[in-house]
């Protein structure tokens, strides 16, 4: 920040940007996004606990109602409150997405480090796997895996986790290799630091931040894929209130003019996914040491 302010020359694009968001450094903007995302997350999770299940019970007296003060997102063909369904659906998707992203990121960290440190054979094997998984469309593999482990939440988590580790693993592998040959790491060894010290002080802090960024960026993918295969009928079972199920059911009623059935759940899903995407990308830029202190 200090150095940016003292820079005499600024590009036109820079200034325009600065005027729109006065005095907001990237750090601050990221913090704001982080706060908003956390708030969104918390309200969805607490909302799903607070909202009573009565909104989910069938009530034909109020079926097919457009959005109103009583039913913010309207009601469906069984008279269920769409707001309650959406919040509970999002909450479930969040949980499944979180689990899938976490499993995937841990897998990526493990395989990435193995590839970079355990010699040529392991490296070749991991690289081959990475290319294999990157080459085939995710959805196809997820459906195959989810189908073969018998669907349900477990199937979705395994399917998403197994398909999403390669890009992060590749980043981590490259990162470890580059760090190992970095001059400051070699200097550290010659200053008498042990391998362990170098690993914990130079390598790990770097990887941990990569790991979390990877995790946050994986998260929206995981949610979207969960919703996607549930929508297609290969994921969560139709009686779970997942957002993908809600959307696929809504599709059947779209032609009847009941737009709110798909609109609100869809937009909520998009907002949540975008929020995490923006957060992840902001943190990524923030962690780039050359841009971090702008």
Stretch 218-257 residues interacting with another protein (CB under 8 A): none
Helices (H), 51-151: 82-117, 120-135, 138-148
Instruction: Of 172, 158, 175, give the one whose Cα is nearest residue 101.
Output: 158
Provide, rounded to whole angstroms, the least separation between the CB of residue 292 and another protein. Answer: 8
Task: Give residues with Cβ within 8 angstroms of 68, minimum separation 6.
Answer: 74
Instruction: Of 288, 289, 282, 290, give the one whose Cα is nearest residue 27.
Output: 282
Instruction: Of 211, 282, 287, 284, give the one whose Cα is nearest residue 28.
Output: 282
Per-residue contact flags (x/-) with another protein for residues 184 to 223, judged by CB under 8 A? x-xxx-xxxxx-------x--xx-----------------
Q: Which of 24, 56, 62, 182 touches another protein (CB under 8 A)?
A: 182
Comparing CB distances to another protein, the nearer of 60 and 184 is 184
Comparing CB distances to another protein, the nearer of 84 and 210 is 210
> Interface with another protein by CB under 8 A: which range of 31-39, 127-135, 183-191, 222-230?
183-191
Q: Which of 8, 22, 69, 183 touches another protein (CB under 8 A)?
A: 183
87: exposed, middle or buried (Cβ count in 10 Å: 0-12, 13-18, 19+): buried
Task: Give residues with Cβ within 8 angstroms of 114, minimum separation 6.
Answer: 122, 126
> Is 190:181 a contact under the CB 8 Å cutoff?
no
Provide, rounded to whole angstroms, the least separation between the CB of residue 1 and another protein. Answer: 10
Provide, rounded to whole angstroms, the least separation between the CB of residue 25 and another protein. Answer: 14
DSSP state at residue 151: S
Instruction: Of 163, 48, 160, 177, give the one whose Cα is nearest residue 112.
Output: 177
Provide, rounded to whole angstroms, the least separation between the CB of residue 29 and another protein. Answer: 19
Residue 286 neighbours by CB distance under 10 Å: 20
Assigned token pair, 21: 């968001």
Q: Which of 8, 137, 257, 289 touches another protein (CB under 8 A)?
A: 289
Comparing CB distances to another protein, the nearer of 102 and 182 is 182
Provide, rounded to whole angstroms, the least separation between the CB of residue 289 and another protein. Answer: 4
Assigned token pair, 90: 């999002």
Whole-angstrom distance, CA of residue 85 vs CA of residue 245:
10
Comparing CB distances to another protein, the nearer of 59 and 188 is 188
> Interface with another protein by CB under 8 A: which range of 86-94, 117-125, 181-189, 212-220?
181-189
Regarding 180 and contact with another protein (CB under 8 A), the answer is: no
Please give the residue ranges that form the binding site for another protein (CB under 8 A): 2-3, 182-184, 186-188, 190-194, 202, 205-206, 289-290, 292-293
């Amino acid at each position: 920040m200090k150095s940016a302010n003292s820079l005499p020359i600024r590009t036109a694009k820079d200034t325009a940007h600065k005027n729109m968001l006065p005095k907001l450094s990237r750090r601050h903007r990221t913090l704001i996004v982080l706060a908003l995302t956390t708030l969104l997350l918390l309200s969805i999770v607490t909302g799903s606990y607070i909202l009573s299940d009565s909104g989910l019970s069938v009530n034909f007296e109020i079926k097919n109602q457009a959005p109103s003060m009583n039913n913010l997102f309207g009601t469906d063909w069984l008279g269920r409150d769409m707001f309650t369904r959406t919040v509970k659906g999002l909450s479930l998707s969040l949980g499944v997405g979180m689990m899938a992203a976490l499993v995937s990121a841990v897998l990526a960290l493990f395989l990435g480090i193995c590839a970079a440190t355990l010699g040529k054979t392991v490296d070749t094997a991991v690289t081959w796997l990475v290319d294999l998984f990157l080459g085939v469309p995710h959805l196809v593999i997820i459906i195959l895996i989810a189908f073969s482990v018998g669907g349900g939440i477990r199937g979705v988590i395994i399917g998403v986790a197994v398909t999403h580790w390669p890009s992060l693993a590749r980043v981590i592998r490259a990162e470890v290799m580059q760090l190992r040959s970095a001059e400051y790491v070699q200097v550290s060894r010659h200053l008498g630091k042990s391998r362990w010290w170098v690993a914990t002080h130079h390598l790990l802090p770097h990887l941990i931040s990569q790991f979390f960024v990877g995790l946050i960026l994986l998260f929206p993918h995981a949610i979207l894929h969960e919703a996607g295969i549930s929508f297609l009928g290969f994921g969560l079972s139709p009686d779970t209130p997942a957002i993908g199920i809600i959307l696929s059911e809504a599709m059947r009623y779209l032609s009847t003019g009941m737009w709110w059935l798909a609109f609100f759940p869809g937009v909520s899903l998009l907002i949540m996914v975008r929020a995490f995407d923006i957060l992840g990308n902001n943190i990524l830029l923030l962690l780039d040491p050359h841009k971090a202190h702008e």
